[in-house]
Amino acid sequence: MLIDLLKAAFLGIVEGLTEFIPVSSTGHLLLLGHFFGFDDQDFGKTFTVLIQLGSILAILSVYFVRLVQIARGLLDDPQARRFVLGVLIAFLPAALVGALLHGFIKGVLFNPWIVCISLVVGGLVLLWVDQLNLKPRFHDAMRFSLPMYLAIGAFQCLAMIPGVSRSGATIVSAMFLGADKRSAAEFSFYLAMPTMAGAFAYDLYKNLDQMTGHNTAVVAVGFVTAFVAGWFVVKGLLAYVSRHGFALFAYWRLIVGGIGLAALIAGV
């Protein structure tokens, strides 16, 4: 029991640190679960999804005042209503694909080989994007066009492949569609709220039978540590990305993916 709780605490920290940066939190958790022996076909993968609630609450706590302002603006502010509509439009593709392919995603794609390959490919893409001389037209996440919100949501579906990174897919697609780095990262935060909450609720509903006393305690520990780690990342990521870009995350992906592939080939 104690060992499982310690593993859950560590994995929760990893979830919180990696959820909002373009390195794939799910990919990291699956690899650690595989090499830690914490990848039971059912609960290990369910745990990976459920502890995301801690990261969701981290965003809500950091953006609480801003979210309250947006909620109040729904009554008399057309821009606030348009932004909420944009977030819902961006959320829909992932909601549909996730519901339709839930079994395939967890049964086939949650695979350490796929994770490692996706990490390496995604790292190369980030390095390429960081070198491009993109000319941003949008500097405020609340002012993207509605078709742009939909396109970002469609690209988010690529993150159904573990190792791709939800934040990476949304940030890169937003930049290609005309957003600057800061607004692209900020919209990724906003879109994470319904996307991760939906994944959490759906997975919990599908796996309620697994929530025994022991498993609930394990998820609770992972949830708490994910919240704490995620809070610090959300507070600092926008400023870092604005100044330094994505090269650090790209190299991290290449290192982790390369080490993972080497370990898998060696039969570890």
Residue with the two structure tokens 């800061």: 182
Residue-level pLDDT at 11: 84
Q: Give the angle subtended at the CA of 240 by the CAs of 51 and 256, to the nearest 5°.
A: 55
Hey, what's the torsion of the CAs at 216, 222, 227, 230, to 10 degrees?
Answer: -150
Number of domains in the chain: 1
Q: What is the pLDDT of residues 31-59, one digit of tens each?
A: 887 777 665 555 666 777 778 788 888 88
Q: What is the pLDDT of residues 170-187, one digit of tens each?
A: 999 999 999 998 999 999
Mean pLDDT over 147-162 rounds to 94
Residue-level pLDDT at 214: 73
Residue-level pLDDT at 42: 56
Integer angstrom CA distances of residue 63 from 16, 24, 107, 162: 16, 22, 35, 27
Q: What is the mean pLDDT of the chain?
A: 87
Residue-level pLDDT at 187: 94
Q: What is the pLDDT of residues 185-242, one digit of tens each?
A: 999 989 988 888 887 787 777 777 666 777 788 888 888 999 999 898 888 887 888 7
Q: 232: domain range?
A: 2-265
Residue-level pLDDT at 235: 85
Residue-level pLDDT at 198: 81
pTM, two decimal places: 0.85
